[in-house]
Chains A and B, each alone.
Chain A
Amino acid sequence: MEAATARLKSRPAERGGYGRSERRLAAAMLAPSLIVIAAVAAYPIGYAFWLSLTEYSVRVPDRWRFVGFDNYTDALSSPEFWDALTTTFIFSGISVALELVIGLGMALCMHEAFKGRALLRTVVLVPWAILTVVTAITWRTIFEPGLGLAPVLLDKLGLPGADVVWLGQEPYALGVMILADVWKTAPFMALLILAGLQVIPDELYDAAKVDGASAWQRFWRVTLPLLKPAILVALIFRTLDALRIFDLPYVLTQGANGTTTLSLIAQQELTANRLIGLGSALSILTFVIVMVVAFIYIRAVGGNIRALAEET
């Protein structure tokens, strides 16, 4: 008995000692990656933040000054920033929602066992494998007024829209941008969801069938709840990507007709106008916005995984 208490008593101390050396080892093993992260992420972000507090002259060599948060006040008080922010969120919201629905549909199709499944899976992935810039050029050509595939097709079919200058008018230009994005990234969504589908055990479906669940009920009660983690991960990836969208509007419209996004205005100030301070401030603002959204998502996923773990 005494021995047992002694053992018990000594355990916390032992655990502490063991833990400390373990922690030290962990720290040592983490150090290289932390240093790399610091070098490739923290330093550039810190430097961009520092630049955002300065103003470099575009007319005199090597002249610059510290302006504090002036660049942020400039950015936040300009209607262009808020327009771009709204556009970015509308674009992200609609395109990610569409990608989710379409991606889910594609994933369910690809999951079914049938002849030619391998071929289907490959074909579906093609749009995702194409560079965004190429995608954008393709869609711009498709919607070229009078000569592109879309107006010609609409005209032949007698549908409305043949005379619409798709990329030259609000809100159609944003519509084309969303279409191009959905076309390109729905397969990516499908791929991530498919991975989620494949880990759902068949026994659950068998059990549901035995209990008399219809196909619809099986989808809502079995598939969807178990897919939630995969869907959330896919949503995080896509939303963060969508919030930083640059290449599509850059090639399709250069931001004209209600397609100016946050990244686009940051790039315009940084490289075209060479306003390093203002451009950096815009980049930092974009970074903060994306980070806040990421944080909200992570909280949501974290909670969900725990809830799921408790349920099962």
Chain B
Amino acid sequence: MLRVAAMLAALAIGIAGCGGSGDDDDGGGGDAKKVTEAKPTGNVTWCIGKDTTGAFGTVVDNFNKQNPDANVKLLELPEDATLQREQQIQRLQAESDECDVLGMDVIWTAEYAGQGWLQDISDAVEKRKDEFIPSTVETALYEDKYWAMPFNTNAGFLYYRDDQVPEAPANWEDVYKQAQQDNGVVYQGFRYEGLTVNFLELLYSAGGSVVNDDATEATADSQEVRDVLTFMADGIKDGAAPKAVTTYKEEESRRAFESGNATFMRNWPYAYALGKESKIGDEFAITTFPGYGGNEGAGVLGGYNLAISAYSKNPEGSLAFINFATEPEQQVIQASEASLPAVLTEVYSDPKVEKAMPFAADLLKAVEQAQPRPVSPVYPQMSEAIYNHVYAALQGDESPDEAASQMNEDIQKAIETF
């Protein structure tokens, strides 16, 4: 009996002790290591998603050839973004020094920085800030410091059948109207990150937002959100978009468009080259997003950033590699040989790139008009709140009003996460 009491007491003390330790650090990576110097020496391991095009391997080879004192090794993570994040987080939680340079989807940057998993590379980014497309650099900023260097970017396009619609409509309202008369519009309406992107593209075009500027307060219970939700839900109800879009990710939308079952499609640039090889290859064109509600069109930024792991033993070598991979020369190779949209403005007017990507000028415009998703360490939860309620609205399970206020509540709950 006495022993049990003693154990309980010890446990209670332990618990109290732990509870106390909770509040003393509120730093958000305040004492993060800072890398200022780049030195191309030593071993560097680069952990990024599967090298499906061979482009990552090319950068690594080029770097190793030019820097005999350094040795960069490519460690390929799964092809699926969710699994890449899982793999990286497992290593970071274990404080593993296996990965020096992390290739992160732009939406993970804040989360990793908040957890103290990255090294501060503000100096290096500030120095070269003017070379980058401004919107891409924004994705690497968290609590006034730069934690990563943009590596490649992405923004959606509106694909349309120019045999059915000679000219692209000037706004989304007309896209849907036209779609209803013709063969419909397809997009990524499955309940996942892609739906968040599709919704935010319309919302940003409508001038709305889901959080305030520093992502500390939810702003989703707004007229813009209700309008866009109504617009999307009505699109399905009125037949402008087929009911099947609620099961579509990128590939399903592409297949539906290529099989001739849609007049319009929202998709990433990757679908262009593939579409040109399909049976409708000569019958479609692409354009940047149209406006909505009298506003200019806007998009949502995708892409990958490169950061240095807090547990890297060779931050100088890592920074040298990151600088190299984001140089114009390498970016041109990435863009022209692997169709990876570059983060540097000048790359888009390079003849090699223009030849490989006939839509380069449009792409630059799309990336420039695109905005980052909320930069927050609890972004995964925010996105879940967004796609869950957009989906419920699309399915008619929630009215646009309900969906908007529920979304707002869930986003606020995410922000207030401990």
- State the A residues within 8 Å of B (CB): 54-66, 144-147, 165, 167-169, 253-257, 268, 271-275
A242 to B252, CA, bound (A): 29
Q: Are A272 and B384 in contact (CB under 8 A)?
A: yes
Q: Are B191 and A59 in contact (CB under 8 A)?
A: no
- Which B residues, 250 to 267, have Cβ-Cβ distances below 8 Å to chain A? 252, 255-256, 259, 261
Q: Are A60 and B259 in contact (CB under 8 A)?
A: no
> Who on chain B is nearest to A151 by CB?
B244
> Who on chain A is nearest to B11 by CB?
A66
A199 to B371, CA, bound (A): 69
Shortest beta-carbon distance from B34 to chain A in Å: 16
Contacts of A167 in B (CB 8 A): 247
Contacts of A145 in B (CB 8 A): 242-244, 247
> Who on chain B is nearest to A163 by CB?
B243
A57 to B246, CA, bound (A): 34
> Who on chain A is nearest to B23 by CB?
A63
Q: Are B89 and A274 in contact (CB under 8 A)?
A: yes
- Which of B261, B395, B418 is within 8 Å of A55, CB to CB? B418
- State the B residues within 8 Å of A (CB): 15, 18-19, 22-23, 25-29, 82, 86, 89, 111, 114-117, 190-192, 242-244, 246-247, 252, 255-256, 259, 261, 377-378, 380-381, 384, 391, 395, 417-418
> Who on chain B is nearest to A140 by CB?
B247
- Which of B23, B28, B191, B378 is within 8 Å of A254, CB to CB? B191
> Who on chain A is nearest to B22 by CB?
A65
> Who on chain B is nearest to A64 by CB?
B22
Shortest beta-carbon distance from B26 to chain A in Å: 6
Contacts of B391 in A (CB 8 A): 256
Contacts of A255 in B (CB 8 A): 191
Q: Are A61 and B116 in contact (CB under 8 A)?
A: yes
Contacts of A168 in B (CB 8 A): 243-244, 246-247, 395
Shortest beta-carbon distance from B175 to chain A in Å: 21
Contacts of B381 in A (CB 8 A): 273
Q: Are A58 and B114 in contact (CB under 8 A)?
A: yes
A256 to B190, CA, bound (A): 8
Shortest beta-carbon distance from A206 to chain B in Å: 56
Q: Lowest 7 CB-CB distances: which A-B pairs, in order?
A: A145-B244, A61-B116, A256-B191, A168-B246, A65-B22, A168-B247, A59-B377
Contacts of A63 in B (CB 8 A): 22-23, 25-26, 418
A169 to B243, CA, bound (A): 9
- Which of B18, B115, B117, B242 is within 8 Å of A64, CB to CB? B18
Shortest beta-carbon distance from B258 to chain A in Å: 10
**Extra 19 A-B pairs, beta carbons < 8 Å, given A65-B22, A256-B191, A273-B380:** A57-B417, A59-B377, A60-B25, A60-B26, A61-B114, A61-B116, A62-B25, A64-B18, A65-B19, A145-B243, A165-B246, A168-B243, A168-B247, A169-B395, A255-B191, A268-B384, A271-B89, A272-B384, A273-B384
Q: Are B247 and A165 in contact (CB under 8 A)?
A: yes
Contacts of A256 in B (CB 8 A): 190-191, 246, 391
A165-B246, A272-B380, A274-B380 given; A58·B256 CB < 8 A: no
Q: Are B111 and A58 in contact (CB under 8 A)?
A: yes
> Who on chain A is nearest to B245 by CB?
A168
Shortest beta-carbon distance from A54 to chain B in Å: 8
- Which of B114, B191, B384 is within 8 Å of A60, CB to CB? B114
> Who on chain B is nearest to A272 by CB?
B380
> Who on chain B is nearest to A164 by CB?
B243
Shortest beta-carbon distance from A148 to chain B in Å: 10
A59 to B277, CA, bound (A): 46
Most central of B27, B29, B247 by chain A CB within 10 Å = B247
Contacts of B23 in A (CB 8 A): 63
Q: Are B244 and A61 in contact (CB under 8 A)?
A: no
Q: Are A59 and B28 in contact (CB under 8 A)?
A: yes
Q: Are B247 and A66 in contact (CB under 8 A)?
A: no
Q: Are A59 and B243 in contact (CB under 8 A)?
A: no
Q: Are A272 and B25 in contact (CB under 8 A)?
A: no
Contacts of A54 in B (CB 8 A): 18
Contacts of A273 in B (CB 8 A): 378, 380-381, 384
A28 to B15, CA, bound (A): 36
A64 to B15, CA, bound (A): 11
Shortest beta-carbon distance from B352 to chain A in Å: 37
Shortest beta-carbon distance from B239 to chain A in Å: 12
A154 to B242, CA, bound (A): 19
Contacts of A254 in B (CB 8 A): 190-192
Shortest beta-carbon distance from A182 to chain B in Å: 21
Shortest beta-carbon distance from A138 to chain B in Å: 15
Contacts of B82 in A (CB 8 A): 272
A253 to B116, CA, bound (A): 34
Q: Are B417 and A58 in contact (CB under 8 A)?
A: yes
Contacts of B86 in A (CB 8 A): 271
| Cβ contacts A to B, 13 pairs, < 8 Å | A58-B378, A61-B25, A63-B25, A64-B22, A65-B418, A145-B243, A253-B191, A256-B391, A271-B89, A273-B378, A273-B381, A273-B384, A274-B89
Shortest beta-carbon distance from A67 to chain B in Å: 9
A165 to B244, CA, bound (A): 6
Q: Are B25 and A146 in contact (CB under 8 A)?
A: no
